[in-house]
Amino acid sequence: MSLKAGDKAPEFQVKDQNGNLVKLSDYKGKKVVLYFYPKDNTPGCTAEACNLKDNHQALKKAGYEVIGVSKDDEKSHQKFIEKYELPFILLADTELDIHGKYGTWVEKSMYGKIYGHRTRHLSHR
């Protein structure tokens, strides 16, 4: 699936780092920055998360909620949040359901090995 500017954001429900069920509809009427990343504790993903952490107060002041999404499980997310003191929730999309709905995960292959890869960032309301 490929979303375009102006498309309605697909609904989802998945658990956050604490096992709480989170639905996009929980944020109806709010501005949401939904960011996708491949893996907790990798250099690029850590830099991205820390940049969002450093700018979190400005984003909150502007009325945005930040939500991170990766295929990592709840335990991995908990450790990532604790290690870097991230002030926003991370969703455990272990079945790649949200990634599939938003078109942010595709299979690639290199030297016969197949692996997943995040294709782009999305932000929406």
Among all residues, which ones are annotated catalytic? 45
| Token duo for residue 54 | 């450093």
Cβ contacts of residue 74 below 8 Å, gap of 6+?
15, 16, 17, 18, 19, 92
**For residues 62 and 55, is the Cβ–Cβ distance under 8 A?**
no
Cβ atoms of 116 and 106 closer than 8 Å: yes
- Nearest 10 degrees: CA dihedral of 73, 83, 30, 57? -170
Of 15, 105, 30, 96, nearest to 62 by C-alpha is: 30
